[in-house]
Structure 1
């Protein structure tokens, strides 16, 4: 029988928050062990670092220009011909998703045989004055109904007073830990091991909403970090250091000067949510051993994007900086199904669109011609000597809309509305503290990356370039025609 495939996806986890990478405080023992049992990709990125476009690339293996999602927009139909779970299902796999999908319509299976759904607090189906009853949160969300059955009909996700984008405000989870949405994803996934078809291999996606806000870790995990000396966020010499409008006081701020203790509590809660997920992954790995599937399952762990967490006085995601755009990506083979060297770290640049072809390759399933990513197995096998030199990323973000080019060693950013440029030497300056765009020592590298961006943008409907130079100020939108 072919190997089982487990995709563990988290939401808004920074790439550097692994103890294996010597983070000064975060403890991730189970993720560390997954990396020891496989390959850790040190330069993995979300080309379009917010939930909707990032997850579209994971689902389809396509770039943002092919999914048409170059920004964040809800309520746009997901009607892709080829999807990762669909290809697994056609190949005879029993397919299941537990947790976050963030697609539309909300209950769209997108190729899975079944979805047990919790997308988190989704504004478009929580706002009762604009939502049809068939699309309401109560109708579509499985976790909320489960929670009310366990804890009472009046319980809601907003009881803690935290918005789904509360970027700097936190408080511990108030109910028993087993009722937390992180535990729920694990519990439901263990139940799938009981209910799965034993005559077929399985493709299971465990999709955790955390460490995306609200920052609501169980007290046992919050207490692990609350009193530690936490690292101060890096502030580049290019960063905005004034906050004349007090934007940092907004609980859902994306930039500004946040009161020091509030920021420290947010950091502690964010790290606590990651360790909580890590422990729940450990719980599921033990269940896999109990059900006898651990040794014939290949596991991929990834986040859809990162979290700035105060870097350069910025918060949340969307922007092209390392805290936001870079993601953890681990491919583990605990039972040695693939026969490859373990405890390996790979520095070639990877992107979320590589996940679908990688996992199809693991299962020896034909990769559809629509897929634009590449299998990471070729890097792990050290077979691909012609791997891509860079990835192109972008995001519609109002006046801060941008495009970026990176290979994991350097990064060029062009803000499409203002024409501002940035260039970072990520080897010598991994925290992006110094913008080298005016440094004559980097003039050649800047031109190479700018020319690569021009090539990527030729023919785009926005009219960003004539093939020779970049044009700032062109109208942008989150979804291409």
Structure 2
């Protein structure tokens, strides 16, 4: 029987928090490949999710703001996703969790390609409702939805243990604010330390002009948000553990590929910034791990992106990822199985088409170009992992050229530019 595929996509999770999820770390991350340099295509929920589902960078899917659902559907992107292709290949499919921002305006919408559809209608925190296969229902709270979706996912897995391969997504709302962990975990990280080196960075003279006069963030507020994120992630950790239990008990764990990522990271006062959308490691970087049949446990520094999930999933299903449309991402399947990443991409683009910046990663360096103002930053992350001092007196014309190429290209041409 062909292998199953499960994507787990958290919401606003920083790379650094993955280690706090003990069960996920032990049973998923350490059983597969942990990527230390995983990135969001664009560090903002909606555009990132559009990139995950289509393997298109934002400059190619055209969904620049967080209200993504309407432009995504209007352009027909929902008719060619990982789901439509996997369903076309005979896979059973199910989506369980947060989808795209804006879907509440289309409450009975069910995206093409999904046999099961259990999604939160965003924007209804005080009156949370869900869409179950096109029928609107109410849940107790936004956070209880994660358990609701997890229960439906486990039921889906059990029902398909002898029914052929499946492809599913579990996308909890955690650890997105407001922070309301379960009572079991509400005090797990009370008073946790939060004091990264770049918190309220003292010398901002190397940052773009608009950042230089930012006031410091409230350290106590940053600590409380961090505390809330860690506590909510304990609830996600329990859900992941239960999913793994069901896979094991039904004999499916050894033939299921599991991808763990987030839509974006999060800044908590680093460089005086709060939230996401910005081209710094805390926001653009995401947790990224893959467990699957024949994959030897390893830690990798390969540059990987959300756009790689769809082509890898199609490759697992023995489909040509570029059939009908060249994808921006590349299949990780060969390197995951062999452990050899020597022929993998050498450089990777991350972008924000709304705020008009590009981030180019190559080697240990991170080049940031702010297109509207012509300003740039260049960091050596090996020597300066917290991005405290941008390199100066450097000719960045080659960096700018490569970033420009990748920011305009698509499909095979984009992948060639990564080499």
TM-score range, shorter chain: 0.7 to 0.9
Cα distance per residue 1:359-416 (max 9 Å; x no partner): 122222221333121011233324554322222222144xx53122113621111112
1:28 is aligned, of 22, 25, 38, to: 22
Q: CA deviation at 1:239?
A: 3.7
Q: Check the 8 A contact 1:233/1:310 in 2, yes or no.
A: no
Q: CA deviation at 1:93?
A: 0.7
Q: What's the counterpart of residue 151 of structure 1?
A: none
> What are the residue-to-residue correspondences of 1:226-237 with 2, within 5 Å?
226-232=190-196, 234-235=198-199, 236=201
Q: Check the 8 A contact 2:59/2:407 in 1, yes or no.
A: no
Q: 114-123 or 260-269: which moved more?
A: 114-123
Q: TM-score, normalised by structure 2?
A: 0.84
- Mapped partners of 1:146, 1:285: distance in 2: 27
* Poorly superposed stretches of 4+, deviation over 6 Å: 141-144
How has the CA–CA distance of structure 1 residues 226 and 383 changed in structure 2, closer, same or farther, with 3 Å as cutoff? closer
Is residue 361 of structure 2 the alignment partner of residue 402 of structure 1?
no
Q: What's the counterpart of residue 66 of structure 2?
A: 72
Q: What's the counterpart of residue 366 of structure 2?
A: 411
Q: What's the counterpart of residue 209 of structure 2?
A: none
1:273 is aligned, of 232, 242, 250, to: 232
SS at match of 1:285: helix
Higher Cα Rg: structure 1 or 2?
Answer: 1
> What are the residue-to-residue correspondences of 1:19-58 with 2, within 5 Å?
19=19, 26-58=20-52
> What are the residue-to-residue correspondences of 1:47-126 with 2, within 5 Å?
47-74=41-68, 75-78=70-73, 79-80=76-77, 81-102=79-100, 105=106, 107-121=109-123
How has the CA–CA distance of structure 1 residues 205 and 408 changed in structure 2, closer, same or farther, with 3 Å as cutoff? farther
> What are the residue-to-residue correspondences of 1:341-360 with 2, within 5 Å?
342-360=296-314
Q: What's the counterpart of residue 301 of structure 1?
A: 260
Q: What's the counterpart of residue 371 of structure 1?
A: 327
Q: Check the 8 A contact 2:266/2:274 in 1, yes or no.
A: yes
How has the CA–CA distance of structure 1 residues 373 and 145 changed in structure 2, closer, same or farther, with 3 Å as cutoff? same
Task: Give 5+ residue unaligned stretches, structure 2.
Answer: 206-213, 411-419
> What are the residue-to-residue correspondences of 1:211-222 with 2, within 5 Å?
211-222=175-186
How has the CA–CA distance of structure 1 residues 408 and 217 changed in structure 2, closer, same or farther, with 3 Å as cutoff? farther
Q: What's the counterpart of residue 422 of structure 1?
A: 377
Task: Give 5+ residue unaligned stretches, structure 1.
Answer: 20-25, 127-135, 149-155, 158-178, 241-254, 461-481
Q: Check the 8 A contact 2:3/2:257 in 1, yes or no.
A: yes
Q: Check the 8 A contact 2:129/2:138 in 1, yes or no.
A: no
Q: TM-score, normalised by structure 1?
A: 0.74
Q: Check the 8 A contact 1:120/1:209 in 2, yes or no.
A: no
Q: Check the 8 A contact 2:59/2:353 in 1, yes or no.
A: no
- Mapped partners of 2:8, 2:22: distance in 1: 15
How has the CA–CA distance of structure 1 residues 409 and 69 changed in structure 2, closer, same or farther, with 3 Å as cutoff? farther
Is residue 201 of structure 2 the alignment partner of residue 199 of structure 1?
no
Q: CA deviation at 1:181?
A: 2.6
How has the CA–CA distance of structure 1 residues 374 and 119 changed in structure 2, closer, same or farther, with 3 Å as cutoff? farther
What RMSD in Å do the two structures reach over aligned CA positions? 2.9
Q: CA deviation at 1:47?
A: 2.2
- Equivalent pairs, count: 390
- Mapped partners of 1:221, 1:280: distance in 2: 13
Q: What's the counterpart of residue 145 of structure 1?
A: 137
- Mapped partners of 1:8, 1:449: distance in 2: 34
Q: 209-218 or 88-97: which moved more?
A: 209-218
Q: 53-62 or 194-203: which moved more?
A: 194-203
1:434 is aligned, of 374, 380, 389, to: 389
Q: What's the counterpart of residue 164 of structure 1?
A: none
Q: Check the 8 A contact 2:302/2:341 in 1, yes or no.
A: no
- Mapped partners of 1:119, 1:32: distance in 2: 33
Q: Check the 8 A contact 1:94/1:197 in 2, yes or no.
A: no
Cα distance per residue 1:313-361 (max 9 Å; x no partner): 211111111111111111102xxx3x23x22111121111111011122
Q: CA deviation at 1:256?
A: 4.7
Q: What's the counterpart of residue 3 of structure 1?
A: 3
Cα distance per residue 1:214-264 (max 9 Å; x no partner): 111123323111133344462345548xxxxxxxxxxxxxx7534333322
